[in-house]
Amino acid sequence: MNKPNMVLVAVVFGVLLILQGIGFWLSTGFEMARFTAAIPAFFGIALLLLGILSGLFPGARKHLMHVTILVALLGIAGGIVMGLKSLRAEEIAWSKVWDQGILALLCLIYFGYCLASFISARKNRTLAE
């Protein structure tokens, strides 16, 4: 299996999360009181910037990619916890549940790409030795 270009993967998932955050906030009419709908965009901005930086600074790529996996783990945890909290509310706001669920899912998929890349890099390093 070919190893994915993780810089590109980080940028793509960053853009997807930014679009998600803007889209869900747009669905609220850009109300400032519902700005939390845009939270996935902040995860996306982090992934996008870290992806771009790791492309610009190859020497720091390994460290920057490790930071992106931390961002993904926070997105998974936050999406699941807040999604479950929204499901337990007296009146369920399904757009919140979907927003948080999609955040968790996108971050989980990105985490899977990272994990596959880390495993591949370790195997390649072991074979080179």
* Average confidence (pLDDT) per 10 residues, the chain, 129 residues: 83 98 91 88 98 96 96 98 94 94 98 94 81
Q: Is the dihedral of CA 3, 122, 52, 110 positive or negative?
A: positive
* Residue 45 located in a structural domain: yes
* Residue 90 located in a structural domain: yes
Q: What is the pLDDT of residue 33?
A: 77
Q: What is the pLDDT of residue 2?
A: 62
Domain boundaries, position 37:
6-128
* Residue 57 located in a structural domain: yes
Q: How many domains does the chain have?
A: 1
Burial of residue 120 (number of CB atoms within 10 Å: 0-12, 13-18, 19+) = middle
Cα gap 57→2, rounded to integer Å: 23
* Residue 1 located in a structural domain: no
Nearest by Cα to 83 from 72, 74, 94: 94
* Residue 56 located in a structural domain: yes
pTM of the model: 0.92
